[in-house]
Amino acid sequence: MSIASSPSPLRGPLPPRAGIGLKAEHYDEILETRPDIGFFEVHTENYMGAGGAPRRYLSEIARHYPLSMHGVGLSLGSADGLDAKHLARKAELVNTHDPVLVSEHLSWSIAGGAYLNDLLPLPYTEDSLAVIAAHVAQAQDHLGRRLLIENPSTYLRFRDSTLPETEFLNRLCEATGCGLLLDVNNVYVSAWNHDFDPDDYLFALRHAPVGEFHLAGHHHALFDDHPRGLRIDDHGSPVRPEVWDLFVRAVDLFGPRPTLIEWDSDVPGLDVWLAEAARADALLAGASRDAA
Amino acid sequence: MLPELQVAFRDAVLGRGDPAAFAAAHVEPGGLDPRRRLQVHRNNTLITLTDALGAVYPVVRRLVGDDFFAHVARGFIERAPPASGTLIDYGAGLADYLGGLDAAAGLPYLPDVARLEWAWHDSFHAADAPPLDPARLAALPRERLPGARFSLHPAARLIRSSWPVGRIWIAHGDPDRPPDSVSLDEGPDYLLVLRPDYDVRLRFVGHAEWVFIVNLSRHQSVAEAWAAAIDIDSTFELSQVLRDCLTGGLFHGVDLGGPFPE
C-alpha cells in the first residue's frame, strides 16, 4: 500500500520524530528517493505566489509527508496590527494543504508600513503582551487552527521590559490557548547573549504547551573589545554540540516532541541534513524508551 | 509605548534617525555597547533582503559584481523596504531605482535587464492556467478569425528594450561559465516570457510580431493588431505568427464575439 493512498497518517497528530526543512534544491530528490523522515517544514511565505512550480511541488510533497507550516512574515508582535492580506494568503495555504502544525514567532517585523525581514524583539511588558495575545487570538480564529509560537533568539533586551521572557510566553499560551514551539538553539543563543543559565529558562516554562522543538546551527561572533562575543542564530551550519546537550535535557524535561532541524543558509545536501535528523530521532526514541 | 518604540527601531535598522541615541535610550548594555546589539538586527535585515534581491536579480548581480550589488541593494532597501511580509512580492522597483542611479549610468542597459528578471520572477509565481489549445483555433472557420480577441496566459510577460537584454541575460545566465560577449548594437530586443506549464521560457520575436502581440494583449481584434503589424513589416505572416504564439503557450483564451463553433 502506498503512503499516498492512506492519507490519515499525514493528518493526525504528528509522532515525536525529526523533520527537516523543504528547499527547492531538494524537491526532485525527495520525490525520487522518498526519504524516511517524520515531516517537512516550510516557510509559508515561500508558497504565497498565485501558482507555479513551488506550489506544485508543495502539493506533491504534501501527498507523501506530513507538513508543518512555519510563518516568518505575520509579525504577530506589531503594534500596527496584522496585515489582513498576508493573513488571508496564509489561510488559503493552510486550507489547501492542511498542515499538521502551524507556527509563528514571538517577535515583530513590521512597523510604519516597512517589513524588515528579521524577527525583532519585543519589550516584555503588559502592553506588548496585550498586543501579541490579541493578534495570536485573531490569527487562530482566522485560520481555525491552534498556533505554536516560537521563542526568539535575542541579541538585545529593552530597558522597558518588566517580565521575564518565560513568564511572557507562559502567559501568552494561557491567554490564547496557543502552544509553544521551543527552539532549543534560540534558548542557547539568548542565554549566551544575556548571560543566563539556559536550564533555568527551560525549568521556567510550562510543559503542556510545548508542541514542537527546533534545532539549528548558529555562529559565534567574537569582538576584540568583548571576547565573550555574541552568538548569532543563522541556521547555516550543523547543530552545535552544546545545543545537542541542551536538547537532550529539554527532551528529558518536556518529553519527546516533533523536532525540526532547520537549515536556511549554506543548505547542505539532503544526505547531510537527513543524518542530523537521524541523530535527533535517536535521542527522541531513547527518551521514549526511558519513559516507557 | 509599543508603536513609537517599533517605529524608532525600524528607523534605526534602516539607518535613519539616530541609531546610537535609540540604542542608548532603550537597550540594556549587558556588558556590550548597545549599538553593537542593535547592529545585529541591521545586519540581519540588510543581508537577508540583499540575498532575496540577489535571488530575483542574479544577472544584474553578475553584471555589477557582488560588492556593487550589495551597495545598490542597501540603498534600495533603505529607501524602499518591503511593504509586507510576503517577500516574493519584493523588488519590483529595482529597475527604476537603478535607472536613477548615477553610479550605474555606465551600464545603461541595466534597468532593462532588471525588468526582464522581474518579469521572469513574476511569471514564475503567477497563477496556473491551461494555455489555449491550438486545436480549438485550427477548427475555427477562417472568416471568424479577424474578429477574434485573445487573452494572454496569466504567466505571460512582454518585454521590449532598446538594448539586447535578452542576449545579455542568456550570456550571463550560467554562473559557472564566462559570459559570451554581446554587442550593444545588437538591440533592440522584443521578448516574450512564457510559462504555459511550470518552466519559464524566454522567446525572441521580431518587431512586427511584438507589436501584433502587444496589441492583442490590449484586447484588439486580430484584424486590428494585424493592420499595425503589416505597417511595420509587409511580409508579416499572420498564420505562422499565430501558430507560434499558440504552440508557445502565449494565450489563455479567445473571444469570438459569439459562440465557438463545435
pLDDT digits (tens, 9 = 90+) for B43-95: 999 999 999 999 999 999 999 999 999 999 999 999 999 999 999 999 999 99
Candidates A73, A124, A78; CA nearest to B52 is A73
Q: What is the pLDDT of residue B179?
A: 85
Q: What is the pLDDT of residue A162?
A: 98
Q: What is the pLDDT of residue A2?
A: 37
Residue-wise pLDDT for A228-254, tens only, equals 999 999 999 999 999 999 999 999 999
Q: Which of A58, A83, A118, A122 to mutate to test the interface with B (most CBs of B within 10 A)?
A: A118
Instruction: Say whether both B5 and B131 belong to one domain.
Output: no
Cα–Cα distance between B115 and B76 in angstroms, integer? 15
Q: Which residues form the domain of A233? A: 3-291
Cα–Cα distance between B214 and B243 in angstroms, integer? 16
Nearest chain A alpha carbon to B9: A111
Looking up residue A177, the CATH number of its domain turns out to be 3.20.20.150
Does residue A98 sit in helix, strand or coil? Answer: coil
- In chain A, residues with a C-beta closer than 8 Å to the C-beta of B5 are 123, 158, 160
- In chain B, residues with a C-beta closer than 8 Å to the C-beta of A54 are 125
Of the residues B55, B87, B107, which one is the last residue of a structural domain?
B107
Instruction: Say whether both B71 and B167 belong to one domain.
Output: no
State the cell numbers at B61. Answer: 548581480
Q: What is the pLDDT of residue B249?
A: 96
A223 and chain B in contact, CB less than 8 A: yes
Interface of B with A in 146-175 (CB under 8 A): 154-155
Question: Is B25 in Cβ contact with A52 (below 8 Å)?
Answer: no
What is the value of pTM for the model shown?
0.94
Instruction: Say whether both B93 and B118 belong to one domain.
Output: no
Number of domains in chain A: 1
State the cell numbers at B108. Answer: 545603461
Instruction: Say whether both B35 and B55 belong to one domain.
Output: yes
Q: What is the dihedral of CA A39, A43, A48, A52, to 10 degrees?
A: -60
Q: Which helix (H) or strand (E) element contains residue A90?
A: helix A84-97
Local structure of residue B27 (DSSP, 8 states) = B
Instruction: Say whether both B199 and B84 belong to one domain.
Output: no
Exposed, middle or buried: residue A195 (CB in 10 Å: 0-12, 13-18, 19+)? exposed
Q: What is the mean pLDDT of residues A144-171?
A: 98
Instruction: Say whether both B143 and B255 belong to one domain.
Output: yes
Backbone phi, psi, residue B144, to 5°: -85, -20
Q: What is the pLDDT of residue B259?
A: 67
Does residue B130 sit in helix, strand or coil? Answer: coil
Angle in degrees, CA B225, B227, B230, rounded to 5: 110
Q: What is the pLDDT of residue B187?
A: 84
Cis peptide leading into B111, omega within 30 of 0? Answer: no
Q: What is the pLDDT of residue B17?
A: 86
Residue-wise pLDDT for B200-249, tens only, equals 999 999 999 999 999 999 999 999 999 999 999 999 999 999 999 999 99
A48, A150, A201, B84, B110 from B54: Cα distances, Å: 19, 28, 38, 18, 14
Q: What is the pLDDT of residue A119?
A: 98
Q: What is the pLDDT of residue A288?
A: 74
The single residue listed with the C-alpha cell 503589416 is B230
- In chain B, residues with a C-beta closer than 8 Å to the C-beta of A50 are 125-128, 154
Of the residues B52, B72, B107, which one is the last residue of a structural domain?
B107
Cα–Cα distance between A218 and A186 in angstroms, integer? 9
Candidates B15, B12, B9; CA nearest to B76 is B15
Cα–Cα distance between B135 and B143 in angstroms, integer? 17
B124 and chain A in contact, CB less than 8 A: yes
Instruction: Say whether both B76 and B125 belong to one domain.
Output: no
Tell me whether strands A210-215 and A179-183 are parallel, antiparallel or unpaired: parallel
Q: What is the pLDDT of residue A8?
A: 47
- Asked if residue B159 lies in contact with residue B119, where contact means CB atoms within 8 angstroms, the answer is yes
Q: What is the mean pLDDT of residues A85-101?
A: 97
Considering only residues A4 and B253, tell me which one the structure prediction assigns the higher pLDDT: B253
A156 and chain B in contact, CB less than 8 A: yes
Interhelix angle A126-143/A84-97, nearest 10 degrees? 50
Does residue A251 sit in helix, strand or coil? Answer: helix
Instruction: Say whether both B62 and B156 belong to one domain.
Output: no
Instruction: Say whether both B137 and B179 belong to one domain.
Output: yes
Does residue A234 sit in helix, strand or coil? Answer: coil
Candidates A86, A209, A91; CA nearest to A144 is A91
Cα–Cα distance between A282 and A288 in angstroms, integer? 10
Q: Which residues form the domain of B116? A: 109-262
What per-residue string of b and e applies to B153-168 under the rule 16 or more CB within 10 Å gives b? bebbbbbbbebbbbbb
Cα–Cα distance between A141 and A135 in angstroms, integer? 10
- Asked if residue A90 lies in contact with residue A71, where contact means CB atoms within 8 angstroms, the answer is yes
Q: In this model, does residue A97 exceed pLDDT 60? A: yes
Of the residues B107, B140, B172, which one is the last residue of a structural domain?
B107
Q: In this model, does residue A204 exceed pLDDT 90? A: yes
Residue-wise pLDDT for A119-141, tens only, equals 999 999 999 999 999 999 999 99
Percent of chain B with pLDDT over 70: 98
Interface of B with A in 29-48 (CB under 8 A): 30-34, 36-38, 40-41, 44-45, 48
Q: What is the mean pLDDT of residues A161-181?
A: 98
Q: What is the pLDDT of residue B136?
A: 83
- In chain A, residues with a C-beta closer than 8 Å to the C-beta of B44 are 117-118
Strands (E), chain B: 149-152, 157-161, 189-194, 201-205, 251-255
pLDDT grade, residue A227 (50/70/90)?
confident
Around A218, how many Cα atoms within 13 Å sit in the side-chain half-sphere? 26
- Asked if residue B104 lies in contact with residue B110, where contact means CB atoms within 8 angstroms, the answer is yes
Q: In this model, does residue A6 exceed pLDDT 50? A: no
Instruction: Say whether both B118 and B236 belong to one domain.
Output: yes
Q: What is the mean pLDDT of residues A142-169?
A: 98
Q: What is the dihedral of CA B132, B133, B134, B136, to 10 degrees?
A: -100
**Full strand arrangement of the beta sheet holding B157-161:** B157-161, B189-194, B201-205
Quickly count: other Cβ atoms within 10 Å of residue A290's Cβ. 10
Number of domains in chain B: 2
- Report chain A's mean pLDDT, rounded to a whole number: 94
Instruction: Say whether both B116 and B207 belong to one domain.
Output: yes
Q: In this model, does residue A110 exceed pLDDT 90? A: yes
Instruction: Say whether both B246 and B174 belong to one domain.
Output: yes
Backbone phi, psi, residue B218, to 5°: -95, 20
Cα–Cα distance between B99 and B81 in angstroms, integer? 18
